[in-house]
Amino acid sequence: MTRKSYTEQLEELREDVLNMGLKVHDRLGMALEAMAEVDMERADEIGSGDDQIDDTYVKIERKCSDLLALQQPVAKDLRLITASFKIITDIERIGDKVVNLTDYTKLSRDERIMDEEDILELGKFAGTMFEDSLKYYDEQDLEGAEQLVQRDDEMDEMCEESTNKILGHLIEKESKTLTTEEATRLGQQVSTELLTIRDLERVADHATNIAARTIYLVSSTRELI
């Protein structure tokens, strides 16, 4: 195998990782729209497409393994392959969170605690972090990746604020007399919305991981991985 074909394989790996990430990012956006609109049919359609993401993950994983076994890469080439392998794991896990969001949409009730704007704000922030992390990986942008890692604290604060809002609503409702049916419905809705917040926070965590892998790829710094 010539050096040129090896270089082409590395470039193809980078493009495959980026394309996988962009597909999951698109699915995240669609899942959030379905959740905001309580569109259960669309949520079901989005959730059923996760197998394609899993298949892509397996194909890229195999490419990484073949490159490591057949080419014995060193230095930055080795970091690109190992970072890419870890990044597709984070992308696949974000895909799992997308499926969770579609499930929560199907469990959601008319009487929401979080406003539609609240859900979309959290989702947009997490989605932008994810999209930017892919961009910084693609461009090997060290400064951008380092700045993205710092944005995770802001996402955590937003999630904490939303969680407190839901818990405050729960406390307020519990101070009133509720029927068994009302209490059950309230408990289910609280649980669904808290899980939504948790999974959007996890999306941001995985985006932060992708940025950390990029930092390692560019600078060989292992501190954040």
Per-residue pLDDT, 109: 64
The CA angle 147-148-149, to the nearest 5 degrees, is 90
Whether the pLDDT of residue 98 is over 80: the answer is yes
Whether the pLDDT of residue 1 is over 60: the answer is no
Per-residue pLDDT, 165: 92
At residue 5, the 3 state secondary structure works out as helix
At residue 60, the 3 state secondary structure works out as helix
Each residue's pLDDT tens digit, 197-225:
999 999 999 999 999 999 999 999 887 76
Rounded Cα distance between 85 and 66, Å, is 12
Cα dihedral sign for 61, 66, 72, 74? negative
Q: Quick one: residue 203, left, alpha or beta (phi over 0 = left, psi -120 to 50 = alpha)?
A: alpha
Location of structure tokens 């080439």 = 77
CB 148, CB 211: distance < 8 Å: yes
Sheet strands (E) in the chain: none
Domain boundaries, the chain: 3-219
Mean pLDDT, the chain, integer: 92
Rounded Cα distance between 10 and 66, Å, is 11
Cα dihedral sign for 48, 31, 136, 89? negative
Rounded Cα distance between 116 and 16, Å, is 34
Q: Which range in 69-83, 102-116, 124-138 is most confidently predicted, on average pLDDT?
A: 124-138
Measured between its terminal Cα atoms, the distance across the chain in Å is 32
Quick one: average pLDDT of 135-139? 98
Give 4's pLDDT tier (boundaries 50, 70, 90): low
Q: Residues near 137 by Cβ (< 8 Å), separated by ≥ 6?
A: 14, 17, 18, 21, 83, 87, 145, 210, 213, 214, 217
Q: Residues near 218 by Cβ (< 8 Å), separated by ≥ 6?
A: 140, 141, 142, 145
**Multiple choice CATH, 3-219, 3.40.640.10, 3.30.300.90, 2.70.70.10, 1.20.58.220:** 1.20.58.220
Is 0.85 topped by the overall pTM? yes
Rounded Cα distance between 39 and 75, Å, is 48
Phi (first) and psi of residue 84, to 5 degrees: -65, -40
Per-residue pLDDT, 161: 95
Quick one: average pLDDT of 110-137? 91
